[in-house]
């Protein structure tokens, strides 16, 4: 996906809560064409209308300079009719995605641009297998990697969840490979410290940016993994909007090499 590629309208087909913290939104383009090609954990940009904006006004504004704000999400599943699921974390922040999610209804139109490639190619996973660390924003990416990893590779995941019943979002096929822990700052690194990992492991960590940095530092400095074995991505940053994160990344003192 190129950032110069225009966004296109997609319609909300269905909205339902799949766990206490996750709301699934099913979207479809007017021509029913599915996003493609899709790599595991592929992402898209979604653009959200204002509360009382009509679909016509929104579509007129979609690819203009004063266009609607975009946020990055992961394709959870593409259906045979071309529709696709996106699993949103319901959070209390006042961002455009979170605000829109509270009022999302079938029939609403939003903007979509994608797909963008996932950051990890499962076929490149080392002999020691794949170890995934994710919070709920990266649960769709983690599940995609778990479902698409080569059979001969061992894949395990530690996922931090917000609610004790969020386990219902896990398909039965991956349950034996996933450990759920309660989300709180430092939870993922705490869980990682209790593990002994094989030398030729590939580590994928995607979560809140400060947490991700701790995981990356630990993997490189304390576990002694090579940079090629460690794929990390900050999916959101506590206290900052996505625009503020983008602006901060352009400053020279931002630790850009640590944030995907
Ligand atoms: C490659 C990639 C894939 C992603 N896939 C998904 C996905 O499938 N599902 C998903 O839910 N998210 C996903 N995210 C994360 C999502 O893009 C961010 O959470 C985004 O900031 C949400 O936008 P917003 O408009 O709600 O909040 P923003 O306007 O960005 O932020 C407003 C406030 O809300 C806070 N905030 C943002 N996200 C969260 C959160 N999850 N929990 C608590 N506070 C938060 C911010 O710190 C800020 O204070 C992905 C991110 C990346 C980079």
The arithmetic mean of pLDDT across residues 33-56, rounded, is: 95
Q: Please, what is the Cα angle at 159 between 158 and 163, to 5 degrees?
A: 140
Distance of alpha carbon 260 from alpha carbon 251, whole angstroms = 15
The arithmetic mean of pLDDT across residues 166-177, rounded, is: 92
Helix ranges (DSSP H) in 149-253 = 187-193, 209-217, 242-249
Residue 152: band (very low, low, confident or very high) from pLDDT cuts 50, 70, 90: confident
Q: What share of the chain is helix, strand, coil (3-state, %, to 5)?
A: 30, 30, 40
pLDDT digits (tens, 9 = 90+) for 93-125: 999 999 999 999 999 999 999 999 999 988 889
Q: CB of 99 closer than 6 A to ligand 1?
A: no
Which residue, judged by its Cα, is nearest atom 53 of ligand 1? Answer: 235
Q: CB of 143 closer than 6 A to ligand 1?
A: no
If you measure from the C-alpha of residue 48 to the centroid of ligand 1, how many angstroms do you get, rounded to a whole number? 13
If you measure from the C-alpha of residue 247 to the centroid of ligand 1, how many angstroms do you get, rounded to a whole number? 16
Mutate to test the pocket of ligand 1, among 235, 237, 249 (most ligand atoms within 8 A of CB): 235
Distance of alpha carbon 33 from alpha carbon 114, whole angstroms = 12
Mean pLDDT of the chain: 93
If you measure from the C-alpha of residue 172 to the centroid of ligand 1, how many angstroms do you get, rounded to a whole number? 26
Q: CB of 114 closer than 6 A to ligand 1?
A: no
89 CA closest ligand 1 atom index: 11
Q: What is the pLDDT of residue 249?
A: 85
Show the domains of the chain with their CATH numbers: 8-116 (2.40.30.10), 122-258 (3.40.50.80)
If you measure from the C-alpha of residue 128 to the centroid of ligand 1, how many angstroms do you get, rounded to a whole number? 31
119 CA closest ligand 1 atom index: 1
93 CA closest ligand 1 atom index: 34
Q: What is the pLDDT of residue 3?
A: 55
Which residue, judged by its Cα, is nearest atom 43 of ligand 1? Answer: 91
Q: CB of 72 closer than 6 A to ligand 1?
A: yes
Q: What is the pLDDT of residue 259?
A: 45
pLDDT of residue 46 exceeding 50: yes
If you measure from the C-alpha of residue 96 to the centroid of ligand 1, how many angstroms do you get, rounded to a whole number? 10
Residue 254: band (very low, low, confident or very high) from pLDDT cuts 50, 70, 90: low
Q: CB of 160 closer than 6 A to ligand 1?
A: no
Query: 130 and 204 in contact (C-beta within 8 Å)?
Result: yes
Distance of alpha carbon 54 from alpha carbon 77, whole angstroms = 28
96-113 burial: b if 16+ Cβ within 10 Å, else e: bbbebbeebeeebbbbbb
Residue 144's alpha-carbon distances to 88, 162, 241, in angstroms, are 15, 20, 26
Q: What is the pLDDT of residue 124?
A: 87
Which of 22-31, 146-155, 247-256 has the largest mean confidence?
Answer: 22-31
Q: Of residues 158 and 123, which shows the higher confidence score?
A: 158
pLDDT of residue 257 exceeding 50: no
């Amino acid at each position: 996906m190129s950032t110069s590629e225009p966004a296109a309208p997609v319609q909300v087909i269905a909205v339902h809560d799949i766990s206490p913290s996750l709301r699934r939104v099913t979207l479809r383009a007017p021509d029913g064409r599915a996003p493609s090609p899709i790599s595991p954990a592929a992402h898209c940009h979604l653009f959200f209308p204002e509360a009382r904006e009509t679909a016509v006004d929104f579509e007129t504004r979609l690819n203009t300079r004063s266009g609607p704000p975009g946020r990055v999400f992961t394709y959870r599943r593409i259906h045979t009719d071309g529709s696709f699921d996106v699993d949103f974390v319901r959070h209390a922040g006042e961002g455009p995605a979170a605000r829109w999610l509270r009022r999302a209804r079938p029939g609403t139109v939003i903007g979509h641009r994608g797909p963008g490639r996932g950051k990890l190619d499962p076929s490149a996973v080392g002999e020691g297998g794949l170890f995934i660390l994710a919070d709920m924003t990266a649960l769709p990416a983690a599940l995609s990697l778990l479902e698409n990893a080569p059979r001969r590779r061992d894949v395990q995941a530690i996922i931090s969840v917000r609610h004790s019943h969020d386990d219902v979002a896990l398909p039965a096929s991956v349950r034996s490979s996933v450990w759920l822990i309660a989300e709180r700052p430092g939870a993922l690194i705490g869980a990682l410290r209790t593990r002994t990992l094989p030398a030729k492991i590939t580590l994928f960590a995607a979560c809140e940016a400060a947490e991700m940095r701790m995981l990356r530092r630990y993997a490189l400095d304390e576990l002694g993994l090579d940079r090629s074995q460690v794929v990390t991505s900050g999916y959101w940053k506590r206290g900052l909007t996505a625009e503020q994160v983008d602006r901060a990344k352009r400053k020279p003192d931002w630790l850009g090499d640590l944030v995907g």
